[in-house]
Amino acid sequence: MKSQGKCKKNVLAIIDFQLSSNKERLWIIDFATLTTVHHTLVAHGQGTGQEFAQTFSNTPNSHQSSLGFYITESTYQGKHGLSLRLQGVEKGVNHNAYDRAIVMHGAKYVSQDFIKQHGRLGRSHGCPAVSQEEHQAIITTLQNKACLFIYYPDNNYHQTSELLQG
């Protein structure tokens, strides 16, 4: 996607949804310095599973997360404060993300305290939500044309994704 000019920043965010939501499963890698600039907790959607993500959807109102590649867009101030618009770029997989208002935002339910109290991280309406303490730094790093990849070992996705095949 970078060679096609879709991603203009030298950072890549990767979310590994095969890991427990109680683990740090978001990495942001800076390719200019070859360093990991963030490694932190990230929530999945309520309809995607409890502690572990299991099912994914591109359907409006499913409250499920979607897999695949995204391009980050602009920021805005929403009900969760500073938020980052995400554009899903894979038809049938995540292309409805923008219309579904799937965004990156901070949330109180993304914290070690929440995990201690509930036994798992809180869940969003499908958004990759991050901690209130880190959301501004993460969103600032990713805003305006960075690439985001949400991974899960889903055979159907891996066999049909044109970006993974290309």
pLDDT at 159 over 80: yes
Question: pLDDT per residue over 119-142, tens digit each?
Answer: 999 999 999 999 999 999 999 999
CA distance 114 to 121: 6
Give me the mean pLDDT over the 31-50 stretch: 97
Task: State pLDDT tens for residues 8-37.
Answer: 999 999 999 999 999 999 999 999 999 999
% the chain with pLDDT above 70: 99
Write down the residue that tokens 């060679």 correspond to: 3
Counting every residue written for the chain, the total comes to 166
Written as one string, the DSSP assignment of 73-98 is EEEEEETTEEEEEEEE-STTTTTTTT
- CA–CA gap between residue 5 and residue 20 (Å, rounded): 33
